[in-house]
């Protein structure tokens, strides 16, 4: 019986504190409980599911970086779950470890082709599982590093290197989407084109380093003035910036431009050469969705803002000129406004090859149906968990035995083998050595397709499991 916490496959380090969460999927409750306990004691956060369908639902609610799943389960087996996970779109990679007694080469290939990353034969060796989980963590860290690098590269491709604002590439990819939403839902969209007044004079008087500082500080002022994750700022060229304001009507866009204009005039910007006074001019364009939107394009929207900006420059700078696309709207000029509000069949290898994977019978206390002292010792004396585990075994074996008897009657060797395998694992975990031995013998006979004696072996297994369940009932009640 293996009930100790998973061994460490290497020296623990500080990075082990952030172990990934594991979703454990197994329809056999006793095996599920014991495996979950080992994983938790090894420092993993563990959630459990009884079948593939339930596991897939859990994954859709919350991402688990590691999926540890049995092969044979009702509703959706391990292979179906692997395929479903690989077909789904999650925020990051899910590393799948498939657990099964099917360990022929063809089975391994089938599991890997279904989408599993690792394949561990049952009964699971604790050292092997610990090592496989370490491998999973290494792969996940590499995947996260690659994802972060890709994200950084994407950010660099759409970001102006000097100011941190978006660049023209981002503008031409995103503004059509904003216009598309406006076309579909008839919601307002505004654009504000800003240009620092007499920027060449700043460069000539203070030098290009101070000029760069001024650009950075002006971009920062714009960023502070917009709504986070709604509006966005683009360095349109040189000292020009375009601010895109979704869900913003003409009056609100004029109010935004005036706040920025007033703040810049009042405060100037701080640079490496000291405080520099400067102003900016603004061209504002907008439409509410009431006009003929089919004619509006990205080029038309930007050209209108640029025309307004040009007029503001010609009119004396440090002012705002705006024009709405709404039918009948007038041009607005603001110079110094002070107040504006704005699973499946076995393959055809020989039975002998399959039988080779069956472990030797579990040995233990032969005087009682269950090695209760050994179970408590393996659980570090945790009697509460031992009683919970015992009750789980008691609750689960009746249905397993009923399914087993029906399968024997109809000569369904696959189901006999599957149920015997589940009973073997559950009995071994609880310390029911005789029951585990009987289950192993029945599993071997079913794998070999031997009809003779199958009923006798099943009857012995039923007696031994029943005796173990009765013993656990009396033992747990006496311990209460």
Please tell me the distance from the alpha carbon of residue 79 to that of residue 111, in angstroms, as a whole number.
6
Structure tokens at 258: 């005036």
- Name which of 218, 238, 246 is nearest 168 in CA terms: 238
Beta strands in 214-279 (DSSP E): 232-237, 240-246, 269-271, 274-276
Q: Per the structure block, which two tokens stand in for 225?
A: 């003035």
Phi, psi of 277, rounded to the nearest 5 degrees = -85, 135
- C-alpha dihedral (382, 388, 392, 394), degrees to nearest 10: 90
Catalytic: which of 72, 239, 258, 443?
Answer: 239
Exposure string for 72-81, b = 16+ CB within 10 A, e = fewer: bbeebbbbbb
8 Å CB contact between 233 and 165: yes
Residue with tokens 């705002």: 320
239 catalytic per annotation = yes
Beta bridge partners of residue 166, listed in sequence order: 159, 234
Closest CA to 84 of 50, 57, 61: 57
DSSP string for 46-106: EEEESSHHHHHHHHHHS--SEEEEES--SSS-HHHHHHHHHHS--SS--EEEEEES--SHH
Cβ atoms 282, 225 nearer than 8 A: no
Annotated catalytic residues are 239
């Amino acid at each position: 019986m293996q009930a100790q916490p998973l061994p460490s496959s290497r020296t623990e380090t500080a990075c082990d504190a952030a172990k990934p969460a594991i979703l454990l999927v197994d329809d056999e409750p006793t095996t599920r409980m014991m495996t979950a306990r080992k994983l938790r004691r090894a420092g993993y956060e563990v959630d459990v599911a009884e079948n593939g369908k339930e596991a897939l639902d859990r994954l859709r609610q919350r991402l688990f970086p590691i999926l540890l799943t049995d092969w044979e389960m009702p509703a959706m087996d391990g292979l179906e779950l692997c395929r479903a996970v690989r077909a789904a779109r999650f925020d990051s990679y899910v590393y799948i470890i498939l657990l099964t007694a099917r360990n022929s080469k063809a089975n391994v290939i089938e599991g890997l082709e279904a989408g599993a990353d690792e394949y561990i034969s049952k009964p699971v060796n604790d050292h092997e599982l610990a090592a496989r989980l370490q491998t999973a963590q290494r792969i996940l860290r590499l995947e996260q590093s690659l994802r972060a690098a890709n994200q950084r590269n994407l950010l660099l491709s759409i970001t102006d290197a000097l100011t941190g604002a978006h660049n023209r590439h981002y503008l031409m990819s995103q503004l059509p989407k904003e216009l598309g939403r406006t076309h579909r839902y008839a919601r307002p969209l505004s654009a504000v084109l800003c240009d620092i007044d007499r920027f060449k004079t700043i460069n000539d008087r203070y030098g290009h380093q101070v000029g760069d500082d001024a650009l950075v500080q002006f971009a920062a002022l714009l960023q502070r003035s917009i709504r986070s994750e709604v509006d966005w700022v683009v360095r349109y060229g040189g000292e020009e910036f375009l601010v895109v304001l979704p869900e913003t009507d003409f009056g609100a866009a004029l109010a935004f431009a005036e706040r920025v204009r007033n703040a810049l005039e009042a405060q100037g910007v701080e640079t490496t050469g000291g405080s520099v006074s400067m102003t900016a001019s603004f061209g504002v364009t907008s439409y509410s969705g009431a006009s003929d939107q089919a004619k509006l394009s990205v080029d038309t929207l930007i050209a209108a803002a640029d025309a307004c900006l040009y007029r503001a420059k010609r009119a004396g700078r440090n002012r705002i000129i705006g024009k709405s696309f709404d039918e009948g709207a007038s041009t607005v000029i603001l110079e110094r406004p002070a107040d504006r509000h704005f699973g499946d069949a076995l393959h055809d290898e020989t039975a002998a090859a399959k039988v080779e994977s069956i472990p030797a019978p579990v040995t233990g206390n032969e005087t009682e149906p269950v090695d209760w002292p050994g179970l408590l010792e393996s659980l570090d004396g945790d009697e509460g968990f031992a009683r919970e585990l015992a009750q789980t075994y008691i609750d689960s074996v009746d249905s397993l035995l009923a399914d087993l008897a029906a399968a024997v009657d109809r000569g369904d060797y696959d189901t006999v083998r599957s149920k015997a395998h589940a009973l073997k694992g559950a009995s071994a975990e609880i310390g029911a050595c005789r029951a585990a031995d009987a289950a192993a013998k029945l599993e071997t006979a079913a794998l070999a397709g031997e009809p003779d004696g199958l009923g006798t072996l099943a009857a012995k297994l039923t007696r031994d499991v029943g005796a173990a369940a009765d013993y656990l009932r009396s033992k747990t009640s006496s311990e209460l």
